[in-house]
Amino acid sequence: MKVNVYKLPQNSPDDLTSLEIAITSGKINPQQIVAIMGKTEGNGCVNDFTRGFAVQTLKNYLANFVGQEQAGAIVYVMSGGTEGALSPHLTIFTSQPSAPNIPTRMGLTLGVIHTRDFTAAEIGSLTMVREVALAVNQAISVAGIAKNDVHFIQIKCPLVTSRDRLLEENYDGKSVSKSVTSYQSMGYSRGASALGVAVALGEVQLEDLTAADICQNYALYSTVASTSAGVELRNCEILVLGNAPTSTSDFVIGHSVMQHALDAQAVSRAIASTGQTSDRVVNIFAKAEADPSGELLGRRHTMMDDSDINHTRMARAVVGAVVASIVQDPMVYVSGGAEHQGPSGGGPVAVISRID
């Protein structure tokens, strides 16, 4: 497999100028696009419709080249919120069979998969954990990545709205309580999806997991999961990224785990793990979380107590600034809400670099 990665700026959620130029010039073949990750400039909460707007714009545009069915099979992960220095952008992943007689090396490869749609009762439940774990394992197998060479698994997952509860006759609130708000359901969905990754990779044993652990027992987590919830879908769209010796890609991926929001050393370790220098970095993907303990490096923080600005928005701004300062590029991917994604208050950070 040969995987290519392209990072393109956006002036608005529906701005495809850079993508159009790349396709028109022949730099990107739309037939080879398998996944698109984006940072959109909404609030990242339940009513952030910039995510769906961006996905709809991309699907309609790409359908002109590949048809509606293939355009719909692409994995779209739009993460809302470009607080602070974060700059809106798209990261395009293409995949094609390796040309004959091209030497292989340990390089970037990927797998993509869509789960079935989830009911409101299943979102944030053990059922979701199991379905995600199954899908992740399938994607890893198809990609031909050894599990210890998986460095980042990005999932876009659904949330539960009040209307979902009203329309779904069988919704009984057993998994996610009816008293849980739509915003809280985002956390449960992210958490269950992340635990699905942890189960797939053997970081957590399914038989040891209970429904009560989801968004409660944060000692259980994945070191490579990044999950983002949105109202624009009902299933999970999954992108698995890792290295394989059969790759002919000019890129490589590595990762580390931030222990807290200011853990710049973890970002540097992730860069170093690719075997390349910082000037070879294509993009960095990180999770951000306001430490639920209310402290950061032993000092009190107020991110959880602000009634005007959601704590996920503050965390994205903090981690975004840390990451951007290291690579001197504000066009990095930082996603808020890190339930079961790295240790409490921290989160996974992955780096894709170009190979020398």
| Catalytic machinery residues | 156, 228
Cα separation of 353 and 336, whole Å?
A: 23
303: nearest Cα among 261, 257, 331, 349:
261
* 249, 108 contact by CB (below 8 A): yes
Pairing, β 347-354 against β 251-258 = antiparallel
Cα separation of 244 and 248, whole Å?
A: 9
316: nearest Cα among 123, 39, 1:
39
Cα separation of 127 and 49, whole Å?
A: 27
- CA 225 distance to own-chain centroid: 7
Cα separation of 129 and 9, whole Å?
A: 34
The CA dihedral of 262, 220, 128, 257, to the nearest 10 degrees, is: 30
Contacts of 115 (CB under 8 A, 6+ apart): 131, 132, 135, 235, 236, 238
Q: Which two tokens stand for residue 44?
A: 């990242």
Cα separation of 74 and 59, whole Å?
A: 9
Q: Phi and psi of 127, rounded to 5°?
A: -60, -45
Residue 49's Cβ-count burial label (10 Å; 0-12, 13-18, 19+) is: middle
* 176, 123 contact by CB (below 8 A): yes
153: nearest Cα among 80, 220, 226:
226
